Amino acid sequence: MDFGRFGQAPAGSRIGYENGKIEVPADPVVPFLRGDGVGPDIWKATQRVLDAAVAKSFGGKRRIAWFEIYAGGVAKEKFDEWLPAESVDAIKHFRVAIKGPLTTPIGGGIRSLNVALRQILDLYACVRPVRWFQNVPSPVKRPQDVDIVIFRENTEDVYAGIEWPAGSPEAARVAALIAELGKDVRAGSAIGIKPVSEFGSKRLVRKAIQFAIDQKRPSLTLVHKGNIMKFTEGAFRDWGYEVAREEFGDRTITEEEISKGAAAGGRLVVKDRIADSMFQQSLLRPAEYSVLATTNLNGDYLSDALAAQVGGLGMAPGSNESDEFAVFEATHGTAPKYADLDKINPGSLILSGAMMLHHLGWHEAAVAVESAMAKTLAQKIMTYDLARQTEGAREVGTSAFGEALVANL
């Protein structure tokens, strides 16, 4: 198939989509965006590790046909566009993609390429698994207790971007309407609106519950600020419990039912926590939490706070997903000062690649990557960011870290 200025996709098959599930051939075409800044360095190491893991796990019977597509600074340079239509077409066609960090355009047009991709493809769930690997420096005493996957709603709440500046005629009109509805807004205020829908909340929680059940996780926690915002945050919690009860009734049980004496009996325990309490719990008793489903802003803060406990930016993988499409990504930025120095930690993109392999159902290869990461760090082979905080570490560059993983597969 021809993708305009990007040319032909490589030989391989398209991932299918049937009855709400992807169908993965033995040779899927997967579009990738190298990204800007440190992107090319971390992509090179990542591709090397993923290909080696797939080859080793499936003895050459499966392979990924990588298809390079472009966005960000490199696309601006090559095609004079930040987000060429061919890139969106390719992701829509092939359904799963992986990306390095992209330079955010300053001024004009697109607010952020990541936001644009999320909106165009309706990638409604931002998924962030957070776990610790031995020897990774951590500011907490027991980082090994953190093994939490966050499902953060990606399209509503503050990310809907509905706001008007203080003193603008729009803000004045909205304030007048609010006054008509019997509520007060201080004169001259900026106004932002936070929509939270039943549809948006339920599909996010549904995805999180399905994941928790598939992965045999013990609990799912609905995180919200419903004590203050009853009709948005509180409704998110209520709709979440409704999905659990109505769609997964035989496979879930609530914490409340357990507190009244019911036995979990292998079912997923569904509970909820107010956001501020959840932050405290994530530091004091992280072992009691496994999968979190959150509204947008709470999830934004929690994802980074939890990632900080297990090694920070260089080690935090993530994805943005709908039912049909998924884009796996390095969660850090382009770190331009380290571009082309073969220095930066490729851990975030490599672990995102492992998430992608799980998503394809190629669990053996995914687990191989995760185990190789654990083994390499256990040997104290590390890039500068971790090595500078670890006694006795052997500091290596990006590509050597990738090679160490390949050797440990």
Q: Which two tokens stand for residue 331?
A: 């969660």
Which one of 168-176, 194-202, 262-270, 325-333 is the stretch in contact with ligand NAP (CB under 6 A)? 325-333
CA distance 59 to 157: 46
Beta carbon nearer to ligand NAP, 198 or 340: 340
Please identify which residue in 12, 101, 226, 402 interacts with ligand NAP, judged by CB under 6 A. Answer: 101
Q: Parallel, antiparallel, or unpaired: how do β-strands 29-33 and 65-68 relate?
A: parallel
Please identify which residue in 13, 104, 197, 389 interacts with ligand NAP, judged by CB under 6 A. Answer: 104
Catalytic residue among 159, 289, 338, 384: 159
Q: Is 184 part of the annotated catalytic residue set?
A: no
CA distance 168 to 58: 60
Name 384's Cβ contacts closer than 8 Å, sequence gap at least 6.
Answer: 343, 345, 395
Please identify which residue in 40, 234, 333, 397 interacts with ligand NAP, judged by CB under 6 A. Answer: 333
124, 142 contact by CB (below 8 A): no
In angstroms, what CA-CA distances link 350 with 36, 344, 376? 16, 12, 13
Q: Is 61 part of the annotated catalytic residue set?
A: no
Please identify which residue in 52, 54, 71, 102 interacts with ligand NAP, judged by CB under 6 A. Answer: 102
Residue 178's Cβ-count burial label (10 Å; 0-12, 13-18, 19+) is middle
Residue 154's Cβ-count burial label (10 Å; 0-12, 13-18, 19+) is buried
The SS3 assignment for 4 reads helix
Please identify which residue in 299, 314, 353, 402 interacts with ligand NAP, judged by CB under 6 A. Answer: 314
Please identify which residue in 385, 402, 404, 405 interacts with ligand NAP, judged by CB under 6 A. Answer: 385
Cβ neighbour number for residue 65 with a 10 Å cutoff: 16
Beta carbon nearer to ligand NAP, 82 or 289: 82
Q: Is 300 part of the annotated catalytic residue set?
A: yes
| Binding-residue pattern over the window 110 to 139 for ligand NAP, x denoting contact by CB under 6 A | ----x-------------------------
The reply to whether 335 sits near ligand NAP by the rule CB under 6 A is yes
Which one of 12-20, 96-104, 350-358, 399-407 is the stretch in contact with ligand NAP (CB under 6 A)? 96-104
CA distance 199 to 206: 10
Which one of 165-173, 264-272, 275-283, 333-341 is the stretch in contact with ligand NAP (CB under 6 A)? 333-341
Number of residues near ligand NAP (by CB under 6 A): 16
352, 318 contact by CB (below 8 A): yes
Query: Shortest distance, CB of residue 278 to ligand NAP, whole angstroms?
Result: 24
The SS3 assignment for 147 reads strand
Q: Is 241 part of the annotated catalytic residue set?
A: no
Catalytic residues: 159, 225, 276, 300
Q: Which residues bind ligand NAP (CB under 6 A)?
A: 101-104, 114, 313-314, 329, 332-335, 344-345, 348, 385
